[in-house]
Amino acid sequence: MEFPEANVTAAQIIAGVLAPTIGYQSTDKLIIRQTESGGNRHGDGIPVEEYYVTGDGTTILENLPLEHPVSPILRRISHPESPGETDVEGEHVSDGVSSTVVLLASLLDEGLELIERGLHPSSVIQGYNTALGYALSGLEEERRLLTDQEYPDEMKLAVAKPTLTGTYPGGDPMQSSDLAVRAAEIIGVPTPESYVTRSVQSDSPADSRLVVGSVLDRNERADDKMPETVSDAKILVLDGHDSGQLMTEEPEAEFTYSGSGLENITQLEEAILNKKHQRVDKIASMGTDVVLTRWGIDTEYQNLLAENNIIGIRGVSPLDLQQVRLSTGAKAVMDPSDILEENLGYAGLVREVEVSRSEQYSTQRKMMVFEKCENPDSVCVFLRGIPSQYSEQLSRELRKATANVAKVMGQSGYAAGFVPGGGATELEISSRIRNRSDIPDRSQLAIDVFSSALEAVPRALVSNSGISVLEVVNELKAAHENGSATAGFIQPVNQTGDVVEHGIVDPYIEKRRQFETAFEVSSLLLSIDDMLETSASETGSNSKEPVYEDAAERQQAHLETE
241-279 confidence digits (pLDDT tens):
655 578 876 555 444 555 555 555 677 778 778 888 999
Q: What is the mean pLDDT of the chain?
A: 83
Q: What residues pair up with 367 in beta bridges, in sequence order?
A: 217, 353
Angle separating helix axes 469-481 and 456-463, nearest 10 degrees? 140
- For residue 297, what is the DSSP state? B
Burial class (CB in 10 A: 0-12, 13-18, 19+), 30: exposed
pLDDT at residue 542 tops 60? no
| DSSP code per residue over 434-447 | HT-S---GGGHHHH
Between 166 and 116, the more confident residue is 116
What the chain holds in terms of domains, given with CATH numbers, is 5-144+419-526 (1.10.560.10), 151-212+382-414 (3.30.260), 213-375 (3.50.7.10)
> Going by C-beta distance under 8 Å and a sequence separation of 6 or more, which residues neighbour residue 239?
294, 318, 321, 332, 333, 334
Torsional class of 487: left (φ above 0), alpha (ψ -120 to 50), beta (otherwise): beta
pLDDT one-digit tens code per residue, 320-335: 999 999 999 999 998 8
Give dist(CA 77, CA 100) in Å, integer.
Answer: 8
pLDDT at residue 540 tops 60? no
Torsional class of 212: left (φ above 0), alpha (ψ -120 to 50), beta (otherwise): beta
pLDDT at residue 84 tops 70? no
Q: What's the confidence (pLDDT) of residue 166?
A: 66
Other beta carbons within 10 angstroms of residue 26's beta carbon come to 20
pLDDT one-digit tens code per residue, 438-485: 776 667 889 999 999 999 999 999 998 888 899 999 999 999 999 999
Give dist(CA 101, CA 104) in Å, integer.
Answer: 5
Between 444 and 417, the more confident residue is 417
Please name the amino acid found at residue 354: E
